[in-house]
Amino acid sequence: MDVLTQLNRAMDYVEAHICDDMALADVSSATVYSTYHFGRMFYYIADMPLSEYIRRRKLSLAAMDLQCGDAKVIDLAVKYGYDSADSFTRAFVRQHGVTPSVARKTGVMLKIFPPLTFQIKIGGVHEMNWRIEQKEAFEVCGIERYFKPSVWEDGDVPPLSPFWDEIRENGSLEKLIKHVGRNDLMAICCHDDGGNRCRDENNADDFPYMICLPCECGGECSSDGFTTATVPKSTWAVFRESTVGYGLEIPRLFQRALSEWLPSSGYDRAPGPDMEIYGSEVGGKLFDEVWIPVVKR
C-alpha cells in the first residue's frame, strides 16, 4: 500500500479518535510504518509535528462547537483533552486570537484547520538529483544512541543535531575516525531489526541512530567501545545535494524525497534502515546524500 494511502488512513484514525488522548504510537498503528518512520514522514510532508496537527484539529472543532451549540467551556475542555478550563482557554486564544466566550458571538473570525488529505504534490520547480542503486550487505562501526519518536514532535530543533554536536565536542567522533582509519562518515537509522519495527529492549518505540563508518572489523569494534551493525542488501533510492557543510541538506532531502518523489515514483518504502552519507567530490566539493530502501509497487 503506497505512502499516501497510509498517511490518509492515519488521518482517518485521528478524526475517528479526535476526543481521545492520542500519542504518535497510536496514530502510527493505523499504518504499516513504525512510530519513528511515521512520525518523521508526517513531520516532513505536513511541515508540522503530529501533535501540533492534532491540537489544531481539536481547537478547530471546539470553535465549531461554540458557534453551533451552548456547551460549557469546561465541558469542551474535558471533551478535547484539557485538564482545566484555563488551559483550554489559553490554547484556544493562541490559535483563534479570542477567548471561547467571545467565539460564541456572531461575526467573530476564527481559524479553522480542516482535516489533512494527502495527495501527490505538484513540484518540479527545483530539480532533484536521484538514482536507484543496488547494494550488497555491508558492516558499519560507530556510536549508537536510542531516541524516542517524540523527537519529531519538536518543530524548532533538528532532532538529531545535539547528538552530533556532543560527539564532536567530547572527542568521540575523532576517536571513531582514527579507529576505523577512514573518514567517509555516514549515519544509519532504524537498523536493529530490519528497519520496519525499531525497538529498544526496554522501550518498544525507541529507535536507534548510529553515526558510523563502513568497516570490515568482523565485530571487533565492539571491544573498543563502538557498536557494529550490518546494513542489509537492499535496493535504494538515493538523493544528493551539494552543500557548504555536512548535514545541512539532509532534512530538505528527506522532505523532498518523501513528499515529492516517493508518492509518484512507482516505489514504496521497503523495510530497512535509512542512511545519510556525507561525502566530497573530486576538487573537494561537499555533498549530502539520503538513502531510502525501496521496493517496486
Final residue in a domain of this structure, among 103, 138, 169:
103
Mean pLDDT score, 40-69: 91
Mean pLDDT check: name the lowest of 90-104, 121-135, 137-151.
121-135
Give the rounded distance of the alpha carbon of 212 from its chain centre: 20
Give the range of the structural domain holding residue 237, as residue numbers without chain letter: 129-296
Beta partners for 278?
288
For residues 238 and 139, state if they share a domain.
yes
Share of residues in the chain with pLDDT > 70 (%): 88
Tell me the helix, strand and coil percentages in the chain, rounded to 5: 40, 20, 40
Residue with the three cell numbers 471561547: 100
Dist. CA 110–CA 40, nearest whole Å: 30
What's the pLDDT at 241?
A: 92
Angle at alpha carbon of residue 35, lines to 275 and 260, rounded to 5°: 55
| pLDDT tops 50 at residue 196 | no
What is the number of domains present in the chain? 2
Quick one: 56 and 181 in the same domain? Answer: no
The answer to whether residues 89 and 151 belong to one domain is: no
- At residue 139, does pLDDT exceed 50? yes
Whether 108 maps to a domain, the answer reads no
Residue 179 lies in a domain: yes
Question: What mean pLDDT value characterizes the chain?
Answer: 86
The larger pLDDT score, comparing residue 73 to residue 192, is at 73
Number of Cβ within 10 Å of residue 138's Cβ equals 13
144 and 259 together in one domain: yes
In a 13 Å sphere around the CA of 5, the CA atoms on its Cβ side amount to 6
Q: Which three cell numbers stand for residue 102?
A: 467571545
> Per-residue b/e over 16-25, b at no fewer than 16 CB within 10 Å?
eebeeebbbb
Give the DSSP per-residue string, 14-36. Answer: HHHTTTS---HHHHHTTSSS-HH
CATH of the domain at 88: 1.10.10.60
Q: How high is the pLDDT of residue 58?
A: 96
In tens, the pLDDT along 164-181 reads 999 999 999 999 999 888
Question: Residue 141 sits in a domain of what CATH number?
Answer: 3.20.80.10
For residue 111, is it within any domain? no
Q: Supply the pLDDT for residue 187.
A: 93
Q: Is the pLDDT of residue 135 over 70?
A: yes
- Name the range with the highest mean pLDDT among 145-154, 186-195, 240-249: 240-249
Q: Report whether pLDDT(252) > 70.
A: yes
- pLDDT tier for residue 122 given thresholds of 50, 70 and 90: low
Residue 259 lies in a domain: yes
Closest CA to 27 of 66, 41, 166: 41
122 domain residue, yes or no: no
Q: Do the domain assignments include residue 203?
A: yes
Q: Same structural domain for residues 140 and 177?
A: yes
85 and 208 assigned to the same domain: no
**Terminal-to-terminal C-alpha distance of the chain:** 8
Q: Is residue 116 part of a domain?
A: no
Higher pLDDT, 209 or 198: 209
Global pTM?
A: 0.79
pLDDT higher than threshold 90 for residue 264: no
Q: Is the pLDDT of residue 200 over 60?
A: no
Count Cβ atoms below 10 Å from residue 137 Cβ, excluding itself: 9
